[in-house]
Amino acid sequence: MKVRDKNILRGIHINDGKETTFNRSIVRASPPSEVVIPLLQHHGKPGQPLVKKGERVRKGQKLSESKSPGAVPVHASISGTVTAVEPRLTIRGKREMAVVIKSEKRATFSPLPPLTRYRHLPENKVLRAILQEAGIVGLGGAAFPTHLKLSPRNKQHVDAVILNGCECEPYLTGDDRLMQEAPEKVVAGMEIIMKILKVNQGYIAVEDNKPNAIASLKKFTYGKENLKIIPLKTRYPQGAEKILVKILLGREVPGGGLPADVGVIIHNVETAWAINNAVYKGIPLIEKIVTVTGNNVPKPANFLAPIGISFQALLEQCGGLLDYKGKIIAGGPMMGRTQCSLEVPVTKETKAILALPEKEAALKEPGPCIRCGRCVEHCPMGLLPVFLAELSRIQKCQDLERLKLSYCMECGSCAYVCPAKRPLVQWIRLGKNRR
C-alpha cells in the first residue's frame, strides 16, 4: 500500500483513542420513545414548520419548508404524534425551534421517489433538487447544504472531487466502519457527485490507520481509472479541506476561501452514503452514524441513530455513564462542543458523543507563555498562534488579519502542544467573532 506523504503538513501525532470502537460494527440504535427534530440543522436559516401539535406524522415525512434557495428541510425520523412545536436546547447551546414527536408502535414510512436511472437525466439540476428535498447536508460536521456545494459559482473551473475519509479527529470511527461495511454506497455516492459536477477525476483520501477501509474501497473502484484511493500518513489534522487540496493536488486555498476557488469540491464519505440513499432509495436524511465512546461509558459503540434521539438515550444503550461529574462533548476532543445537558438531540451535525470522566475532563490552570515556539512549529497552516491568541485576548483585532487570522482552521493543534496549557484556539475564536 503506497502512502502519500509530501511533508507539507506539520500538525501533530496524537493518541487517537480509536481502539475502543474501530472494530465495532455499526448497529442500529433502539427506537426512542421520543425525538426532538430542530428545524435548523444546516448552515443557514431554518425553515418554517409544516406540522402542528397533535398531528400524526410518518417516518420520512417533511417537517419544514423554506422559500430560501439555500435552505434544506428536516424530516421525521420516526412515526408518531407531534406533541410540541417549540424551542428546545440543541448542541449549539441555544434554544431553537424544534418539532417533538412521540413514537407510535406501528411505524409507517414516507419515502421520496427513488431515481435509479440518474445517469440518463438531461439536467443535473434535477439531481440537486432531489438532494435538497432529501435534506442532505455535509456530514463531516459543517452541515453546509449539499445542493449548494454542488452548485459552485465557478463550476466551469471545477476539475476534481475529493471524498474525505481521513477521519483524523480522535475517538471517531464511524466513517471508518462505513467505508468497511458499505463501500459500494460510498463509491456510488461519489459517482453521483461527479456526474452533477461533470468532473472526470475523483479521489478518496483515507489515512493509513484504516487499512480495512482502504481495501474495501479498492474492491469497488477496481477498473475505474477516474477514481483513485489515496492512502495518507496518519497525522492530525490531515482531513482538513485546505490540507487535502494541498497534499493531493498541490493547490493552495486562499485565506477565507473555499476549495471550489481552486477547482476542487470536497465531501465527506458519509455525505456520499446519504446521497446514494436519497437518489437510489428515496430515503431522506433521517439517520446519522454516531460514535459513542470515551472512558466514561462501559460499552462504546458505533450507532446508526435516528436524528432527534437524545444523547441520554444513546448513552443508556452503551450502559450509561460511569461518572456523572465528567464531561460530554458533541464531536471529538479537538473540535467538538462541550454539552451542558444530556437531553440535547442528535442532529445532522453530530459525528460523535464523547464521554470523559472527571479526571480526564479537568482543565489545568494556564501558565504564562514561555516562548517555546511549539504552537508555531505544529500549526498546519504555518501561522503564529501565540501572537494571534494574544492579540485576540487584548482585543487588538485590527492587527489580526495582518497575521492571516482567516487562514486558521481552529483545529486546536496549538492548544494541544502548549506546555503552559494556554487556551490559544479559544482566544483565536474570540478574535474571529469580534472582527
What's the burial of 102, exposed, middle or buried (CB within 10 Å: 0-12/13-18/19+)?
A: middle
What's the mean per-residue pLDDT of the chain? 91
pLDDT of 228: 95
User: What ranges do the domains of the chain cover?
Assistant: 18-22+115-281, 31-111+284-360, 374-434
Max distance between CA atoms of the chain, in angstroms, equals 64
Q: What is the CA radius of gyration of the chain?
A: 21
Q: Which residue has the cell 440543541?
A: 90
pLDDT of 1: 47
What's the burial of 113, exposed, middle or buried (CB within 10 Å: 0-12/13-18/19+)?
A: exposed
User: What would the DSSP string read from start to end of 97-125?
Assistant: EEEEEEE-SS--B-PPPP-TTGGG-S-HH
pLDDT of 7: 44
Structural domain 31-111+284-360, CATH architecture: Roll (3.10)
Name the grid cell of 65: 419548508
Strands 202-207 and 227-232, how do they pair? Answer: parallel
Distances (CA, A) of 417 to 9, 164, 241, 423: 16, 25, 22, 11
Distances (CA, A) of 213 to 69, 173, 202, 247: 36, 11, 17, 20
- CA 87/CA 95 separation, integer angstroms: 5
Distances (CA, A) of 313 to 77, 294, 296, 309, 320: 15, 16, 15, 7, 9
Which residues lie closer than 8 Å to 225 by C-beta, 6 or more apart? Answer: none
Cut 0.85: pTM above it: yes
Are 29 and 309 in contact, with CB atoms under 8 Å apart? yes
- CA 288/CA 274 separation, integer angstroms: 9
Ranges under pLDDT 50 in the chain: 1, 3, 7-8, 122
pLDDT of 4: 54
pLDDT of 148: 92
- CA 283/CA 395 separation, integer angstroms: 48
Are 241 and 77 in contact, with CB atoms under 8 Å apart? no
pLDDT of 120: 60
CATH number of 18-22+115-281: 3.40.50.11540
Which residues lie closer than 8 Å to 216 by C-beta, 6 or more apart? Answer: 179, 180, 183
Are 260 and 16 in contact, with CB atoms under 8 Å apart? no
